[in-house]
Amino acid sequence: MFVAWLSTEDANREPKKARLEIQPILGFSNKDKIRTIQPHDDALVVTLRIGGYNVKRMMVDQGSDAEIMYLDLYKGLNLKPEDLKPYSSPLVSFDGKVVIPKDRIRLPVKTGAEVVEVNFIVVDAYSPYTAIVARPWLYTLGVVSSTLH
């Protein structure tokens, strides 16, 4: 049994409400595979929050070390050119072509309750995705992506 002794000063104070933070968990089970065509190897594509906007069609690429933002998204977020930092290393695109980046930008990306600063390399190239988040983002969140579900 635990007994707490309160002084009269403590007894006259309003009780403090306990802060209860519920951390949403993004997880999947075998029930989530129902109505999916198996086996599949589709890309993992998510919606994340950047700069007050819900950004759709962001690909999670656990095989890449570079986080990419395509120029259309950069323009759509109304980012300022002075926020860009120089970046000059060429990249190789999915189709094997060399892409010269515009520059890079560091932005907070909200995932559920977590906010992670991400260094995006801005590129002017076609992509069905708006951006790519990669291993540094996954590592910072402490998560493992799964395309099974």
The span from the CA of 117 to the CA of 107, in Å, is 5
Residue 34 belongs to a domain = yes
In three-state form (DSSP H/G/I as H, E/B as E, the rest C), the secondary structure along 75-121 is HHCCCCHHHCECCCCCEECCCCCEECCCEEEEEEEEECCEEEEEEEE
pLDDT of residue 48: 92
Alpha-carbon span 56 to 13, nearest angstrom: 48
130 and 55 Cβ atoms separated by less than 8 Å? yes
User: Could you list the residue range(s) of the whole structural domain that residue 19 is in?
Assistant: 8-141
- Domain total of the chain: 1
**Residue 73: inside a domain, yes or no?**
yes
> 29-59 pLDDT, tens per residue?
778 777 777 766 778 888 999 988 999 999 9
Strand partners, 70: 123
pLDDT tens, position by position, 62-113: 888 899 999 999 999 999 889 899 998 988 877 788 888 989 999 999 988 8
* pLDDT at site 19: 54
> Residue 40: what pLDDT?
67
CA distance 149 to 139: 20
Residue 76 lies in a domain: yes
For residue 81, the domain's CATH number is: 2.40.70.10
What was the pLDDT predicted at 4?
35
pTM more than 0.75: no
Look at residue 147 and tell me if it is in a domain: no
3 in any annotated domain = no
